[in-house]
């Protein structure tokens, strides 16, 4: 479609006849994501608040559909790269965020850690080195003051602010640790996401929400007993990237609901459906 035709369509967005404006919106949406840059330019140059509002709505719809499609493709991919999954979650709020920017930020954290890391150290001491860099030098930590902020689930926001929730802090820590060739993985505990260091000789646990506190299987058993839950294998063993992304999305649903942004919460629930196997989608 020619730009002049697109401009003519946009000019009809505030038509008093709702049937006409609705038809125009459908026509624009049918073009797909390629029309987004044009709509962004039109939004900047248009002085009609009604048209601007409808352009914003169209852009959001197109970006959201693009995210759903990308998330579906990620779910169907063979590797389900964790950073890509977390990037997709962040694009819900930051649609222009580039995956390469996240890779560069993580590379810098890895480099800062690598400078002080020694592969010949015992497992506990390796983790203590990462803790020192991550929590003392780089000042990562728990966002306890604004625990329910949606930004805590956005990896780009946490990389910038150095404050996050358990799962996002764990993801950043784990991606750096794995790049250092350490067998560190996520663990899906009830009410708390943690990490485990697990190889043929060791298994212990790391709480990134408490400055990398190291603890044992017995500590987890005590925690489960306090919650009056029946112990499950998943409370002690590594989980995969799909489970991590699902949990991050459930956290985001809860955040939006706590903030009273119910429309966004419903949209994120639909994203969860895209990567569900028909199971429970509860937080």
Average pLDDT rounded to a whole number, residues 255-263:
96
Average pLDDT rounded to a whole number, residues 39-56:
82
* Range(s) of the domain holding residue 20: 3-76
Q: Give domain status of residue 239, yes or no.
A: yes
Average pLDDT rounded to a whole number, residues 100-126:
97
Q: Give domain status of residue 181, yes or no.
A: yes
Query: Domain boundary residue among 76, 106, 126?
Result: 76
Are residues 40 and 106 both part of a single domain?
Answer: no
Q: pTM value?
A: 0.88
Are residues 117 and 54 both part of a single domain?
Answer: no
Are residues 70 and 93 both part of a single domain?
Answer: no
Find the radius of gyration of the CA atoms of the chain.
Answer: 22
Q: Give domain status of residue 63, yes or no.
A: yes
H or E, element range at 166 = helix 166-179
Is residue 58 within 8 A of residue 29, CB to CB? The reply is yes
pLDDT tens track for 170-218: 999 999 999 999 999 999 999 999 999 999 998 999 999 999 999 999 9
Are residues 96 and 226 both part of a single domain?
Answer: yes
Q: Give domain status of residue 282, yes or no.
A: no
Are residues 94 and 42 both part of a single domain?
Answer: no
Q: How many domains, in total, are found in the chain?
A: 2
Distance CA 76, CA 269 (A): 19
Are residues 195 and 232 both part of a single domain?
Answer: yes
Query: Domain boundary residue among 55, 76, 97?
Result: 76
């Amino acid at each position: 479609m020619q730009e002049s035709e697109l401009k003519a369509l946009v000019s009809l967005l505030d038509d008093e006849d709702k049937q006409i404006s609705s038809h125009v919106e459908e026509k624009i949406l049918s073009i797909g994501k390629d029309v987004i840059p044009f709509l962004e330019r039109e939004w900047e140059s248009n002085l009609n608040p009604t048209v601007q509002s409808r352009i914003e709505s169209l852009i959001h719809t197109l970006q959201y559909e693009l995210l759903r499609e990308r998330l579906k493709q990620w779910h169907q991919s063979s590797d389900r790269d964790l950073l890509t999954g977390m990037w997709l979650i962040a694009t819900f709020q930051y649609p222009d965020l580039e995956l390469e920017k996240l890779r560069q930020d993580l590379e810098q954290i890895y480099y800062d850690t690598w400078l002080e890391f020694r592969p010949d150290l015992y497992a506990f001491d390796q983790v203590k080195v990462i803790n020192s860099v991550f929590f003392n030098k780089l000042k990562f930590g728990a966002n306890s003051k604004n625990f329910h902020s949606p930004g805590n689930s956005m990896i780009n926001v946490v990389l910038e602010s150095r404050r996050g929730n358990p799962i996002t802090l764990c993801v950043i820590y784990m991606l750096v640790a794995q790049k250092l060739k350490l067998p560190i993985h996520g663990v899906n505990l009830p009410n708390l996401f943690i990490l485990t260091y697990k190889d043929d000789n060791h298994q212990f646990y790391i709480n990134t929400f408490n400055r990398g506190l190291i603890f044992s299987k017995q500590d987890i058993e005590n925690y489960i007993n306090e919650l009056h839950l029946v112990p499950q294998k998943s409370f002690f063993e590594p989980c995969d990237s799909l489970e991590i992304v699902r949990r991050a999305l459930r956290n985001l649903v809860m955040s939006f609901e706590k903030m009273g942004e119910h429309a966004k919460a419903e949209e994120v629930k639909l994203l969860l459906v895209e990567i569900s196997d028909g199971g429970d989608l509860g937080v």
